């Protein structure tokens, strides 16, 4: 999933983007047998006693390593004519608004996942989760990018670096929005 998700950032809002994202979510779920690729989801299911603490740690380590490996790989292997990006806070957006956006879209993600798995049941829930995730990505993309996943945001920030900003300010803001907002939204 970590390989597929950055590819969805440049798909745009067109119908092909929706279809591509729909199938990529299903494919990632089938390949990984429903494992969580999102730390906010992993923390939420840990808080609800669905996985043990060592299961949470294993997921977080795997997600973090994947994020920090995949973005540099994609940067190397992506053709130069293909836009390549990740979650970033929109220019002029206050930190409070960015945290709120990540909180709300990640809480929406959890509601989509829980509703689909409770009412539709696996594996038939996959297309509905894919549609829900894509809708949430589109809802938040002009404010905080296609966030909802702290590790995708971490991987992009790791790959991109702080740029011209002071590293402490960049990482502090980045972690508050993409880790704090998303994990709080998932846990809510």
Provide the domain limits for residue 94. 4-187
Q: How many residues does the chain have?
A: 188
Q: How many domains does the chain have?
A: 1
CATH code: domain of residue 73:
1.20.1080.10
Output b/e per residue, 79-102; b: 16+ Cβ within 10 A: eeeeebebbbbeeeeeeeebbbbb
Query: pTM (2 decimals)?
Result: 0.79
Phi, psi of 182 (to 5 degrees): -70, -45
Read off the pLDDT of residues 28-85 as tens digits, 9 standing for 90 and up: 777 765 556 788 888 888 888 888 999 889 888 988 888 888 888 887 887 777 777 7
Low-confidence winner among 5-9, 122-126, 173-177 (lowest mean pLDDT): 5-9
| Burial environment of residue 61 by CB neighbours within 10 A (0 to 12, 13 to 18, 19 or more) | exposed
Tokens encoding 182: 């998303």
Read off the pLDDT of residues 26-37 as tens digits, 9 standing for 90 and up: 777 777 655 567
14 alpha carbon, distance to own chain's centre = 20
Q: Which residues make Cβ contacts (< 8 Å) with residue 17, sequence separation at least 6?
A: 8, 11, 134
């Amino acid at each position: 999933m970590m390989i597929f998700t950055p590819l969805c950032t440049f798909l745009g809002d067109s119908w092909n983007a929706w279809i591509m994202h729909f199938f990529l979510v299903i494919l990632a779920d089938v390949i990984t047998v429903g494992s969580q690729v999102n730390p906010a989801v992993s923390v939420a299911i840990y808080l609800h006693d669905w996985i043990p603490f060592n299961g949470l740690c294993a997921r977080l380590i795997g997600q973090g390593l994947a994020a920090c490996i995949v973005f540099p790989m994609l940067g190397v292997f992506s053709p130069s004519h293909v836009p390549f990006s990740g979650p970033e806070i929109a220019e002029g957006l206050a930190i409070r608004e960015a945290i709120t956006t990540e909180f709300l879209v990640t809480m929406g993600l959890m509601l989509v996942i829980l509703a689909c798995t409770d009412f539709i049941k696996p594996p038939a829930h996959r297309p509905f989760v894919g549609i829900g995730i894509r809708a949430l990505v589109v809802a938040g993309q002009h404010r905080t990018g296609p966030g909802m996943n702290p590790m995708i945001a971490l991987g992009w920030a790791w790959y991109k670096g702080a740029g011209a900003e002071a590293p402490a300010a960049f990482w502090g803001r980045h972690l508050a929005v993409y880790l704090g907002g998303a994990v709080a939204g998932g846990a809510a």
